[in-house]
């Protein structure tokens, strides 16, 4: 269970926590629903685990609903996800029917009309608004990179999105779905969650040795879902270049999200390629303490995404004072101040070059990690995120 708000005083100070309670007071007892597509796996579910709990602690009666769908539905919505991030996909009438049927069935059992504000996350449940006589503000929160969406899929979804009162995106570079009714709100990490809380050296060693990861040489890690947009195969190629010049090991740790049917395919591809290299560990496990320990033990953390809505694994690692090399896409450059908290890169070769620099210059890497911690503390913690939501909901309902 997440920590109550007062526990965050030791992290962000009393003033910020007090302001949350003060801002939330007019919303006391107000029922608010968050709707998404999975309870586990990926950043959205992770945010909601903390955000919904903290909303309740602030006096708002927040609840969390998850759309139920079969494999066909999630195959369709994964195609939507890929299309919204710019991929050319085959878009058929059957896909539309599958998508609308599931949203309609979900709407029948969800009773969203009982809430004073509804926040719908991403494309999967976006069309459920079509099946309600809307009497309250609805917010569509998109966590996907909308910089160059596939127009056919986007235009199909837009007929539902325009019915929302407000939209939230993560980056000003993304297409704004509702001009004049759109906010930029950065995602966040929970500094007191098992994934981000302080760990002792003994706890770190226990987690790593329990997964056969020795600390006998510097560790480079990428920690994210097994997803082609995270470019794990590109990470392996960059590591292959580095490994010829510097003795280190690579750990690829990830999980499979319930709503991503492509994940297992990508994971199997990664395992096959990793077998060709020395000093590579590929771990498929949902384990927050292992993530925490690995991010703290690593000399460098990678997030070599090709497309990225935000990439919270960057903020997680920076919070632990570990420098990060990330793809120059989506929300990653907002977190990595290039040359100060890590590096943003646009190719495998550039990634390898920056990895070598940080591995060969541990003092500089440590300085970058410390700067990264302060940057995350200022911009990307759950307390700021909660305050943003409270203020937006107030502006729509009061």
pLDDT for res 260: 78
Whether the per-residue pLDDT at 40 is higher than 90: the answer is no
- CATH fourth-level superfamily of 5-188+381-397: Glycogen Phosphorylase B; (3.40.50.2000)
Q: What is the DSSP letter of 189?
A: B
The confidence score (pLDDT) of residue 392 equals: 98
User: ∠ at Cα 94 (88, 99), nearest 5°?
Assistant: 85
- Within 162-287, where are the H helices? 201-209, 232-243, 263-274
Q: With beta carbons less than 8 A apart as the criterion, state whether 295 and 270 touch.
A: no
Q: pLDDT at position 8, please?
A: 98
On whether the CB atoms of residues 220 and 355 are closer than 8 A, the answer is: yes
Bridge partner list, 254 = 284
Cα distance between residue 124 and residue 358, in whole Å: 40
Q: Is the pLDDT of residue 194 over 90?
A: yes
CA pair distance 235, 264, nearest whole angstrom: 18
Taking the C-alpha atoms of residue 264 and residue 92, their distance in angstroms, rounded to an integer, is 24
Residue 250, SS3? strand
Alpha-carbon span 112 to 137, nearest angstrom: 11
- As a whole number, mean pLDDT of residues 311-327 equals 97
User: For position 216, what pLDDT does the model report?
Assistant: 94
Q: With a cut of 80, say whether residue 272 has pLDDT above it.
A: yes
- Cβ atoms of 311 and 303 closer than 8 Å: yes
pLDDT, mean of residues 94-122: 97
Average pLDDT over residues 167-172: 95
Contact 224, 233 (CB under 8 A): no
At residue 256, the pLDDT reads 80
Q: What is the pLDDT of residue 261?
A: 79
Residue extent(s) of CATH 3.40.50.2000 domains in the chain: 5-188+381-397, 201-379
Backbone φ and ψ of 196, nearest 5°? -120, -5
What is the tens place of the pLDDT at every residue in 50-80? 999 999 999 999 999 999 999 999 999 999 9
Band of the pLDDT at 41, cuts 50, 70, 90? confident
Rg of the chain over Cα atoms, rounded to whole angstroms, equals: 21
Residue 193, pLDDT above cutoff 80: yes
Q: In what order do the strands lie in the sheet with 61-66?
A: 61-66, 31-36, 117-121, 138-141, 166-169, 182-184
The whole-number average pLDDT for the span 312-319 is 97
The CATH number of the structural domain formed by 201-379 is: 3.40.50.2000
How far apart, in Å, are the Cα atoms of 254 and each of 18, 205, 396? 37, 19, 38
DSSP 50-80: HHHHHHHHTT-EEEEEE----HHHHHHHHHH
* pLDDT at position 207: 97
Band the pLDDT of 140: cuts 50, 70, 90. very high
Beta strands in the chain (DSSP E): 31-36, 61-66, 117-121, 138-141, 166-169, 182-184, 219-223, 249-254, 280-284, 300-303, 324-327, 342-345
pLDDT for residue 255 is more than 90? no
Residue 106 scores a pLDDT above 80: yes
The percent helix, strand, coil of the chain (3-state, each to 5) is 50, 15, 35
Q: Express each pLDDT in 142-155 by its tens digit.
A: 999 999 999 999 99
> pLDDT of 211-228, one tens digit each?
999 999 999 999 998 999
* pLDDT(195) > 80: yes
């Amino acid at each position: 269970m997440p920590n109550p708000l007062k526990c965050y005083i030791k992290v962000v100070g009393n003033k910020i926590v007090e302001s949350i309670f003060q801002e939330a007071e007019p919303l006391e007892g107000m029922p608010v629903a968050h709707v998404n597509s999975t309870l586990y796996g990926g950043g959205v579910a992770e945010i909601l685990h903390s955000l919904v709990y903290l909303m309740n602690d602030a006096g708002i009666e927040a609840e969390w609903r998850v759309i139920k769908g079969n494999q066909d539905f999630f195959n369709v919505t994964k195609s939507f996800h890929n299309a919204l991030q710019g991929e050319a996909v085959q878009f058929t009438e059957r896909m539309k029917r599958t998508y609308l049927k599931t949203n309609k069935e979900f709407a029948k059992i969800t009773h969203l009309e009982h809430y004073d504000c509804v926040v719908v996350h991403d494309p999967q449940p976006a069309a459920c608004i079509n099946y309600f006589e809307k009497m309250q503000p609805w917010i569509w929160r998109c966590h996907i990179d909308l910089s160059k969406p596939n127009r056919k899929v986007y235009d199909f979804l837009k007929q539902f999105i325009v019915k929302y009162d407000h939209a939230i995106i993560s980056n000003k570079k993304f297409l704004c779905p509702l001009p004049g009714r759109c906010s930029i709100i950065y995602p966040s990490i929970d500094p007191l969650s098992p994934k981000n809380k302080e760990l002792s050296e003994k706890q770190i060693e226990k987690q790593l040795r329990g997964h056969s990861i020795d600390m006998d040489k510097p560790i480079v890690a990428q920690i994210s879902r097994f997803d082609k947009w995270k470019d794990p195969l590109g990470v392996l190629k960059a590591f292959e270049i580095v490994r010829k010049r510097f003795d280190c090991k690579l750990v690829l740790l990830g999980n499979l999200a319930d709503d991503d049917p492509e994940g297992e395919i990508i994971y199997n591809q990664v395992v096959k390629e990793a077998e060709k290299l020395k000093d590579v560990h590929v771990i498929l496990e949902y384990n927050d303490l292992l993530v925490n320990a690995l991010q703290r033990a690593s000399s460098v953390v990678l997030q070599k995404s090709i497309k990225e809505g935000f990439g919270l694994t960057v903020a997680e690692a920076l919070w632990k004072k570990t420098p990060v090399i990330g793809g120059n896409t989506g929300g990653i450059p907002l977190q990595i101040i290039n040359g100060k908290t890590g590096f943003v890169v646009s190719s495998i070769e550039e990634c390898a070059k920056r990895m070598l620099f940080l591995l060969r210059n541990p003092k500089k890497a440590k300085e970058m990690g410390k700067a990264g911690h302060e940057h995350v503390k200022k911009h990307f913690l759950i307390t700021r995120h909660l305050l943003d939501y409270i203020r937006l909901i107030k502006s729509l309902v009061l």
